[in-house]
Amino acid sequence: MSIQSNQVKYESLVNIYQSLDATTKRLEKTDILANFFSNIGAELLPIVTIMALGRVFPVWSEEELGIGSKLLMKAIATVVGITPEDVEDQIRDQGDIGAASELLFKKKSQTTFFSKPLTIEMVYHNLRKVASVSGNRAQSRKIAIILELLSLASPDEAKYITRTVLEELRVGVGEGTIRDAISQAFNVDKNIIDRAHMLTNDLGLVARVAQEEGVEGLQKLSLKPGKPVKPMLAQLAEGIKASVDEMGRVFCETKYDGIRVQIHKKGSKIMIFTRRLENISNAVPDVIQYIENSLPDEDFIVEGEIIVTDNGKPISFQYILQRVRRKYDIEKAMEEVPLTLYLFDVLYYQKPLIDAPLEIRRETLESIVKLEENKIQLSKQVKTDRENIEEAEKLFKDSIDQGHEGIMIKDPTAPYIPGIRGKKMLKYKAEPETLDVVVVGGTYGKGKRAHFVGSYLLALSDEFGDLKTIAHAATGLDDQMLLELSERMEKLIVERKGQKIAVKPHIFLEVAYSEIVKSPEYESGYSLRFPVIKRIRDDLSLEDIDTVQRVNSMFKGH
């Protein structure tokens, strides 16, 4: 029998968190969640789906709780009746705010416990309310809401509420596990769930439709302006000739080296998302302006690459991150770091277009964009085939000469396939291959550099999404970048032993190397010779990093 009432105790979700915490096996986690989902009523299902990920808003939402650890420590201190410094000490001892809160709440004299049990709905709605508070005395009004929740919480509940507030649930559940659990709970093929998710990026909605309408309802879900779609990804081309031979007819385009953006217009609102689906609209008012000037007034979704240019010439990728991460002095940044947008696809215009072949989408795109020099352009394109390969080669050469990265080779008959790295869109670059990795640790330098993390421990993911180390990299960063990275590392430390630290996997790097070699020293079984950090990749997430399987096949290919 399913739990119909929306008065389900928060405690039952906490029990689920604890069971998830108790196993590292993905299949067991999937079972636990599937069982929970199939027993929960339709109203609560979307809520528990997102809360199982430790969030109250989807990643792409502009809304955020806006409560930092300092403020939360103050709230905990107030409820428990100690000083914020005591809370900080406890966090240091326990390693995280959740465990520290649990302990402190246990010590607290039992007063209000269980007088009015928390429900899942209450926790969810109150946390959402926190995000909506703005203006006068916002901080103290936010804290008042958190205080109310914490004052009703048991120690176990406090552990997970505090972790949720800081978006660090740590129960080892990612979107993939949630998708598997929905598929299992409602007996729907995993591919159907995956596609519905790629299109809507709303797992709560997917779960609810799976439960209430099954396959038929899921197949009707489509993309909607305002909700970002997981971008279609490219595979590496073996060579220009091999790729054109295989596709027959191709669209080749310059590959611009910036950040990919998906631009949505819904009503009068223009939203810009990165490939990680972060909403960066506020950081790039100039791009919003280009769109307003050059695209129609109707709803649409288009995709392109934003690059930094100096008189039309592309300049270093690194500058673009300064632009999109910027929260203040945006006007000044706009002048110093001008952006050009190269559009290359349209996913929605008057209706969803993702199932239309690329050639139709490109035609549509060409018909709706008004070009403006140095501001908004279409990706440079040549249409060619097996008989005219030299045209593709010429585009490659011209693109490199103009300072771009290489070319994309696309199948003009292919639909837009969200979230998949397939064979219908290939990339061919001039530079030697690099790997996208995540930093999991580091070592402080010596002498003058004792305050900097000088060497970074890098990891890839394996087929289960677990991180496996592959190399230490110490070169490639200039002093300013070293300083910036060191500061970011400080905030991510989870363990410290002498000069060595372990950090949360939040910093992504692109590394070049001379060779992949077998090595028992690292968990992946491989190591990199002469790794050089090429750039910080804040546009990536854990799902994007390279895998041990890829390194394995690259190693075998040598």
Binding site for ligand AMP (CB under 6 A): 233-234, 253, 255-256, 260, 275, 305, 344, 379, 408, 427
Nearest distance in Å: CB 297, ligand AMP = 26
Cβ atoms of 263 and 291 within 8 Å: the answer is yes
**Is 70 considered catalytic here?**
no
Residue 2 to residue 439: CA distance in whole angstroms: 43
Nearest distance in Å: CB 386, ligand AMP = 21
Q: Helices 138-151 & 120-132, crossing angle to 10 degrees?
A: 170
Residue whose CB is less far from ligand AMP, 73 or 234: 234
Residue whose CB is less far from ligand AMP, 195 or 255: 255
Nearest distance in Å: CB 255, ligand AMP = 4
End-to-end CA distance of the chain: 57
- Look at residue 501 and give its three-state secondary structure: strand
SS3 readout for 263-300: EEEECCEEEEECCCCCECHHHCHHHHHHHHHHCCCCCE
Which has the closest alpha carbon to 52: 189, 206, 160? Answer: 160
Cβ atoms of 315 and 309 within 8 Å: the answer is yes
Nearest distance in Å: CB 260, ligand AMP = 3
Which has the closest alpha carbon to 240: 408, 434, 436, 2? Answer: 408
What are the beta bridge partners of residue 509? 437, 536
Residue 24 tokens read as 């590292």
Nearest distance in Å: CB 213, ligand AMP = 33
Q: In the complex, which residue's CB is closest to ligand AMP?
A: 260
Nearest distance in Å: CB 305, ligand AMP = 4
Residue 436 tokens read as 């996208």
Residue whose CB is less far from ligand AMP, 84 or 419: 419
Cβ atoms of 143 and 74 within 8 Å: the answer is yes
Nearest distance in Å: CB 98, ligand AMP = 35
- 10 Å CB burial of residue 109 (0-12, 13-18, 19+) is exposed
Helices (H), 201-328: 203-220, 240-247, 285-294, 318-325
- 10 Å CB burial of residue 235 (0-12, 13-18, 19+) is middle
Residue 224 to residue 280: CA distance in whole angstroms: 18
Q: ∠ CA 47-50-51 to the nearest 5 degrees?
A: 80
Catalytic residue among 159, 227, 230, 255: 255
Catalogue the active-site residues. Answer: 255
